[in-house]
Amino acid sequence: MTRSKLLSAGLAAAAVLFSQNGAAQELIPIQIPQDANLIGLGVFSVPDYYGSDDYKAAAAPLIRYSWSDTQYVQVLGPEVRLNLVPYRTDLRAGPLIRFRQRRDDDVDDAVVKHMRPVPSATEIGVFVDYHMPLEPGRPLHKVVFSADIVGNTTGVYSGPTGNIKATYFYPFAQGLFGKPLLGTLGFGLFFASDHFNDRYFGIHGVDLPRFPERAGRAYKAEGGLTSIKIPFSLTSQVDPKWLVTVAGRYERLLGDAADSPVVKDRGDENQWIIGVAASYLF
């Protein structure tokens, strides 16, 4: 199969996953370890909704296709990035599109499933990554500093959301069973607008009777620093053409998000994503 056919098939599969709401929520904790074209698929355990203590399985497409030494399009689960920076190996920047899952009566929690639904959201914004090498001759031994900011285009919420993150990449000298092995560990902060947090964590109007402990008092969730995120992964090149990745992310909700009855009484401020992915290099 040619590169163009592989890319077309991958993008079509990604579109199907997004349209069926089967994609993992927000960002998945996969780090593509090198500047290589690949196509793959991951299966992850993700929260049933943002703040839930129930989990479900979700599929996440993985695609990276470059048309020059540095410029590329990349799909990681529900996010698409387009790097437009030419002639730089240390800097990536460009537009991104992100799809955020809806919350409706399909969730397991007996109270949250009857709350007013929150529709799926499309977010558009920009990102920038800076790759700082740590050791001459070992390009995968590095720290990557990342930031992004997006806004919602579908009227689900107003105001920006954004992430800042640092990720450490370490190629293990011994590998795994003689195969190359790369580990990553990151630390990130997620910021959200007042309206975003109130949309996902607030309690108002017809939802108030579902939380009798509130005695009819609305819960307004304000924005700001909403969570910390700690992603981690191990990737092994088990074959010249295949990568296998085990990845996860711990997220701790903070502030009004963590204190919301939707989370504190019906869910959990500790959010986990765990999964495995296989990718084909081409």
Task: Give residue 68's pLDDT.
Answer: 85
Please report which confidence band the pLDDT of residue 27 belongs to, taking 50, 70 and 90 as the band edges: low
Closest CA to 35 of 164, 144, 165, 188: 144
pLDDT band at 38 (very low <50, low <70, confident <90, very high): very high
- Of 231, 198, 184, 188, whose CA–CA distance to 77 is shortest? 231
In order of their start, the domains of the chain are: 3-281 (2.40.160.40)
pLDDT tens per residue across span 256-268: 999 999 999 999 9
d(CA 77, CA 73): 13
Model confidence pLDDT, tens digit, residues 114-149: 999 999 999 999 999 999 999 998 999 999 999 999
| Terminal-to-terminal C-alpha distance of the chain | 10
DSSP H helices in the chain: 3-19, 194-201, 255-259, 261-264
Angle 141-145-146 from CA coordinates, rounded to 5°: 130
Structure tokens, 177: 């069973």
CA–CA distance, 200 with 206 (Å, rounded to integer): 15
- CB neighbour list of residue 126: distance below 8 Å, 6 or more residues apart: 93, 94, 95, 96, 148, 149
Task: Answer with the residue of higher pLDDT: 10 or 195.
Answer: 195
pTM for the model stands at 0.89
Contact between 60 and 39 under an 8 Å Cβ cutoff? The reply is no
- 269 sits in the region (left: phi over 0; alpha: psi -120 to 50; else beta) called alpha
Contact of 222 with 255, CB cutoff 8 Å: yes
Phi, psi values for residue 146, rounded to 5°: -130, 150
Report residue 17's pLDDT band, with 50, 70 and 90 as the boundaries.
very low
Per-residue pLDDT band at 178 (split at 50, 70, 90): confident
